[in-house]
């Protein structure tokens, strides 16, 4: 399940990417998708990539259209399931 996928990722469990069809996302759309999957807001994505929030929204529309997804949550799940999310290891106290 998606919850299991997120728990495994936070625990550092290595998973093989799920093979899928080439969605033909642009490099920038890939960056936006990664940030969405990490829980970033449109504003945070815009600030991180030095683009406007409207540009972020355009990228999200294009991503969802290309991947046949209905919403942001499905986009995040898609990224996690296909191993597109790059998490930084958190230091443990």
User: What is the per-residue pLDDT across 10-68, written as a single tens digit (0 to 9) for each?
Assistant: 666 555 444 444 468 999 999 999 999 999 999 999 999 999 999 999 999 999 999 99
The Cα–Cα gap between 73 and 52 comes to 21
Q: What is the pLDDT of residue 22?
A: 44
Q: At 25, phi and psi to the nearest 5?
A: -75, 145
Q: What is the pLDDT of residue 34?
A: 93
Check: CB of residue 64 under 8 Å from CB of residue 70. yes
Q: What is the pLDDT of residue 30?
A: 92
Pick the CATH number of 2-15+25-81 from 1.10.230.10, 1.10.10.10, 1.10.1370.40, 1.20.120.400: 1.10.10.10
The Cα–Cα gap between 30 and 66 comes to 12
Exposure b/e, 54-90, CB count within 10 A at least 16 = b: ebbeebbeebbeebebeeeeebbbbbbbbbbbeeeee
Q: Taking 70 as the threshold, does the pLDDT of residue 3 lie above it?
A: no
pTM: 0.70
């Amino acid at each position: 399940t998606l919850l299991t996928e997120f728990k495994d990722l936070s625990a550092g469990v290595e998973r093989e990417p799920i093979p899928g069809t080439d969605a033909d996302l642009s490099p920038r759309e890939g960056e936006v998708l990664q940030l969405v999957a990490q829980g970033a807001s449109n504003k945070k994505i815009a600030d991180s990539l030095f683009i406007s929030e409207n540009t972020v929204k355009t990228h999200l529309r294009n991503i969802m259209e290309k991947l046949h997804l209905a919403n942001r949550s499905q986009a995040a799940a898609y990224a996690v399931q296909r191993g597109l999310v790059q998490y930084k290891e958190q230091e443990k106290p």
